[in-house]
Chain A
Amino acid sequence: MPDIKKYAAINTKIKYLEGQLLTDEDYEVLLNKDRVEDIMFFLKGKQVYGELLKDIDEQNHDLAEFELLLLKNIVRHYEQLLFYFSGIYKKLIKAFLIRFEVSDLKLLIKTAIKGEDVQSVSHSLITFTKHTTVDFNKLLQSKSLEDLIENMSQTPYYNILKPFLEESTDRQLFYMEMTLDQYYFRKLTGIISRLEVEDKRVLRKFIGTYIDLYNIQWIYRAKKLFNITPEEIYNYSLPGGYRFNEDAIKELSYLNSYNELIDKILGSKYSFLVDNNETREIYMERRSKRFLYFLLLNYKKKEQFNIMEIMIYLHLLEYEMRDIISIIESHKYGYTMEHSKQFLIRKV
C-alpha cells in the first residue's frame, strides 16, 4: 500500500517546487536570446531565480559566479528538504550531498596536483557551507597535495586517498577521482539497502541504472584512452548495477579489444551510448544523462507516494541548472541554436 501519510508534507512541497521548474517554452525563449545578459534578465523575471540571482548584476556579470550560484542552488534544495526527513532517510539525502562534496574535493586535488595554490579555487567550491562535514577552511590552507591529504585526516577521505600519494603524478588525479566516486556510491548503496522495501526497490533500480551507465563509460574510457590492467578496471567499477551485475562487468573488463566492447554494449539496452561512430565521445555523457532524464519522466507517471517523487524533483532541478549552464556556455563559444540544443540534457 502506498504510504500516503509519510510523504504527505514533503510531496506537497515537491508539487509546489515542481511548478516552478522551467517549461519547454521557457527553454525556447532562452535558446533564442542573443546575449547572456538577456538570459540572466529573463531568468530574473522568474520567481525562484529572481530571489537566487538578486545579487547578480546582469550588465556586469561574472559567468563563473553565476554558474556556481546555480550549482549551489541544487545543494540548497537538498539541504532544505533535509528538514522533512529523519533517521535513515535524512542520511539518504545527506548521502546524495556527498556527490557535491566529492566534486569539490576533486577540484582541490586537481589544483594541488597542477602545483597551483588551492586558494585560487576557493570561490568555486559548491559545498563550502555549514552543512558539509569537511573543514574546507583548513583544506584551503594546504600548500601541496601531501598537505591537502594530511589536512583531511579527520575525514573519511583520508584513509582512502592517502595510498595514492605514492602513485606517479600523471595518474594520481585519475585514481583519486575514481576512488572518491567509489566512496560516494558505496555510501549511497549502503544506505539504500537499509530503506523500507518499496523505496529500496525503486531506488535500487534507478541508482542501478545510474551505476550501469557509469560503469560502461568508465570501462569504455579505460579501454580506449588509458592503459589500465583489466584487474584495475574491474576493481574500480561499481557494484550494484541494474542490468550489468558483477559477473557481466568482469566480463567487460577482461574483453581483449575495444571493438569487442563496442559490440557488447551495442547488444545491450545501452546501445544508444555508442551507436553513432562520429559523435560517440562528445555526447556520451549527455546521452547517459538524457536517458536518465527520460527514465525520470517515465517514473513520474507511475512512482507515487514513495521516495522517488523527491528524487525525481531533485534530479530534474539539477538537470535544469546544468542545462542553463550549457546554454550560457554555448553562448560563450558562439554556437548556433541548433548546435546548443545538442548539449542540453532535455530534448527541446
Chain B
Amino acid sequence: MSVERMNMLNLVAPIQYIDEIVKEMVLFGKLHIVNAMVEIDESNFMIAVDEENIEEIAEMSMIHSYKDQQSFKTFKYHLDSLMTFFNIPEEVKPDYLSGHYSFKKTMDAVNDIFHEADALQKKMDAKKQELTQLDNIQNCLKMMKDVNIDLSTLNGMAYFNYEIGILSKEGREKIRKNYENIPAIVLHIGNDQKDEVYLIISLKEFKLETDRILRSLNFRRLEAPKNCAGKPFEIETIFYEQSEILRAEIAEMEKYKEELREKYYSDVEKAYSQNEMEEAKTVIKSNIACTDNFFYLSGWVPEKEKSLLDKRLSVFDDEVILVFKNTKDVYNYIIPPTKLSNHRIISPFEPLIKMYGIPSYGEIDPTLFLSLTYMFLFGAMFGDVGQGIVIFLMGLVATKKMTNSVYGQIFMRLGVSSTIFGFLYGSIFGFEHILPALFLRPMENINTMLYSSIIVGAVFLFISFSIGIINAVKNKDIKEGIFGRNGVCGFVFFMGLLMILAEMTISLKTIPMNFLIPVMASCILLIVIREPLTHLLINKRPLYEEPPANYYTESVFEGLETIINILSNTISFIRVGAFALNHVGLFMAFHTMAELANNKAAGILIYIIGNIIVIGLEGLIVFIQGLRLEYYEMFSKYFVGEGIEYRPVALKCS
C-alpha cells in the first residue's frame, strides 16, 4: 500500500545482442525506459572501473544515440490493409513471439499475401463499379418511366443530343430567369425523393456550349441508357438480369476471399503480433546509446521484479553487464517514476489522485487516506440503504459493461458506504421511519450533525497535517515542513485554534489562554519570516531570493491568509452535516407531493421520480463536494503531486 520501490537499471552489452536483449525487455514488460544519452551526460551511468569492464568504459567516449535504419512503412501499410480486408482483430499472441524467429521472413510473407489479396480486391472493386453503373442506369430508367418514347428514337437523333439529370433549386431558378437565352429544351420528367429530374435536348452543334452552361448550373448528369432500344418501363428487366449476373460473380469472389482468409489467418495474426513487438522494441531502441561495439540501456525497474529480469538475461552470461542502483544514488539527477501499488479494495481510487497529480516518488501514497475518507464523506452526506444499493448496482453494471471504466468500481464502493450510513441514519429510499436508526436521525438531531461534522473535519485535517509533516521530513524540507503554513507551525496554530474553539463552545479547559495566544502568534510570525530563517539555519546566502520588500509584502499577507484559511478549512466540513440534512429535506418535499397527490398510483410514481432525482442530482453534488473536500481542504495540506507516472514498455495484451 504505497509507492513501489524502484531501482535504476544500467545495462551494457555487445551490439550484436541488441535485438535479443531488447526483445527480452519488451517481454519482461516492467521497464520504464530512460534516455541513455541523457543519463550518460548527467554522469549517472556508472560502471565499476575494473579490468574486465575496461573495453566498455573506453568506448563510452565515442558514444552516440542508436539509430535504426529500417523503415517498415510499406510493410505496415500492407499489414493494416490485410487486417481490414480479412477483418482480423488486433490481438497480440505471445505464442508467436517465443524463440528465435525472422521478422524479415514474416514481412516477406505478408507482402506476398498482400499482393494476392490486393489483386482480388481490385477485381472485386471493378465488378462492384460495373454494378453501380448498371444500378444507376436502372435508376435513371425508373425516373423516365413516365416518358412514353422508345429510347431508340432518343438515341437515334441525328442533330440533337439529350441528357438526363438533376438540377438544384438554385439552378432551376437561374434557368427560369434566363430561359430566353438557353439554347436547349428543358423538360421536367419526374422527381426522385427531393431532387427534380430534367430531360435536356439540345443541338449537337452546340454541345460544347450546352455542356458548359449545364455545368455552370451544377447540373448532375445521370447515366442515360445510351445504347438501348425500347420504352423505359419495358427494358428495366433486361438491366435487372444483367446486374443479377454481376451480383452472383461478386458473391463467388467473396467466397474466394473467405478461403484466402482461412488460409492466411494465422500468418497475418502472427505478423501483427511480431510487428507490435517490433514497435515496442523501437521505443526502447530510440532511447539507447551505442558505440561501434556496445550498446547502453537504462531505465527503472520495480525492485521486486529485479530477480525476474536477472533470470531472463542469464542466457547471455558474462556478455551483459547489469547494474542496479538504489534511488538514493541517482535521486538528485533524475526523478524515479511512481508506481502506485495498493490493495484492490482501494486501488480504484487511484485515478482520482491522478486527476490531481501523480505522487512524487518520495511522497507517502495518499490513496489509502483518500479512499477511506472519501468513502466516509460520501456515505455521511448520502446515507440511504436503498439508494446506496442502487448506486452499488449501477457501479456493478458499469464495471461489467465498460471494462475500462474506473467509475464503476468507485461507485460500487461509494454505494456500500452509503448503505452502511443508511443503517446508521435509519433511512431507506428516503423513508425515515421504516428502519431503526443505529446512530441517529439527522433531521431530529440537527445540531449534533453539524457539530460532529466539524469534529470529523478537525480529525481529518489533523491527519492531513501529520502526513504533510512526515513528507517534509522525508524530503528534508525545513522551510515548508517546519515553518510552512502546512508544516509544523501551521499545525501548532491549527491545534491552538481548536483548543480555543473547544473552550468557547463547550468550556473545555486545556491550556491557559495567556499562554496559548502568544504561541499561536509566534507561529504566524515564524511563517512570515520562514525564508530568511531557513537560510540562516542551513547557512545559505543570500537570505532572500527576491528583494526583501517584495518578500515581506507577500508573506505578511500569506500569514494573514493562513489564519483565515485554517479556520475556514475546518468550518468547511460543516457541509458534510448540511448535505446529510439536505438529503433528508429534499426527499421530504417529494413525500409531501406524494401525499398531496391523493392517489396511490400517482404517489408511487412521485416516490420513484423523487428517488431518481435524488440519486442523480444529489448523488452528483455529493460526489463533487466530497472531492472538493479531498482536493481543496486536505490535499493542500499534504499532497504536492509532482511525480512522473510509471509507464513500462510492454505489449498491449500479452
Contact = CB atoms under 8 A, between A and B. Distances in A.
B109 interface: no
A67 B504 CA distance: 71
Which of B173, B174, B211 has most chain A Cβ within 10 Å? B174
Contacts of B219: 163
Contacts of A164: 215
A232 B170 CA distance: 14
Which of A163, A166, A235 has most chain B Cβ within 10 Å? A235
A231 B175 CA distance: 9
A67 to B, nearest CB: 31
A229 B212 contact: yes
A208 interface: no
Main secondary structure of the interface of A (DSSP, over half): helix
Contacts of A230: 181
A235 B216 contact: yes
Interface in B194-228: 209, 211-221
Which of B170, B216, B221 has most chain A Cβ within 10 Å? B216
Contact of A231 (B170, B171, B182, B220): B182
A297 interface: no
B221 A163 contact: yes
A244 interface: no
B216 A166 contact: no
B177 interface: yes
A163 B215 contact: yes
B215 A234 contact: no
A182 B168 CA distance: 13
Contact of B177 (A175, A179, A232, A250): A250
Contacts of A239: 170, 173
B178 interface: yes
A159 B209 CA distance: 20
A231 B178 contact: yes
B457 to A, nearest CB: 36
Contacts of A178: 216
B174 A175 contact: no
A250 B176 CA distance: 12
Contacts of B217: 235
A157 interface: no
Interface string A24-51: 0000000000000000000000000000
Nearest to B216: A235
A293 interface: no
A65 interface: no
A250 B213 CA distance: 15
B220 A186 contact: no
A231 B213 contact: yes
A230 B218 CA distance: 17
A160 B221 CA distance: 11
A160 B170 CA distance: 14
A263 interface: no
Given A231-B182, A239-B170, A160 B211 contact: no
B215 A167 contact: yes
B177 A246 contact: yes
Given A167-B215, A175-B215, A229-B209, A235 B220 contact: no
A159 B182 contact: no
Interface in A128-178: 159-160, 163-164, 166-167, 175, 178
Nearest to B181: A231
Contact of B174 (A163, A235, A254): A235
A19 B144 CA distance: 63
Interface of B: 170-171, 173-174, 177-178, 181-182, 209, 211-221
Given A163-B220, A229-B209, 6 more contacts: A167-B212, A175-B216, A179-B218, A231-B209, A231-B213, A235-B213
Q: Considering the complex of A and B, which 4 residue pairs feature the smallest CB-CB distances, nearest first?
A: A235-B216, A232-B216, A163-B215, A231-B213
6 contacts: A164-B215, A178-B216, A231-B182, A232-B212, A232-B213, A239-B170
